[in-house]
Amino acid sequence: MQKKTIERIRKFTEDRDWDQFHSPANLAKSISIEANELLECFQWSDDDYDLEQVKEELADVIVYCQDMLDKLNLDVDEIVNSKMEQNERKYPVEKALGRAEKYDRL
């Protein structure tokens, strides 16, 4: 995410004094709630969905994720790359190529 966008998210929260409500538990709940609202966009059809609604709900998830990164003093690149290293070990290309099974079933 661009620095300008991150700063905008931070300013939005700061201007409203909402950091006081942003405990890690509250942010995790909010991420889950918004992710479920995103899922609701596909409730009755995998193909017939409102892209604008999907974008709004996805943005809500991303904003809350940034809030949680800030609250926990985490770097998105660091944690994503760490997780990708784990995933690459669990799902080596030679075993996982074209397969959807969980790593312990490959």
In angstroms, the CA 51 to CA 104 distance is: 35
- Residue reference for tokens 């966009």: 41
Amino acid at 21: F
Average pLDDT (42-56) is: 97
Please give the CATH superfamily to which domain 1-73 belongs. Answer: MazG-like (1.10.287.1080)
Domain boundaries along the sequence of the chain: 1-73, 75-106
* Cα–Cα distance measured from residue 62 to residue 104, given in angstroms and rounded to the nearest whole number: 30
Q: Quick one: average pLDDT of 65-90?
A: 98
Q: Once rounded to an integer, what is the mean pLDDT over residues 99-104? A: 92
What is the rounded average pLDDT for all residues in the chain?
A: 97
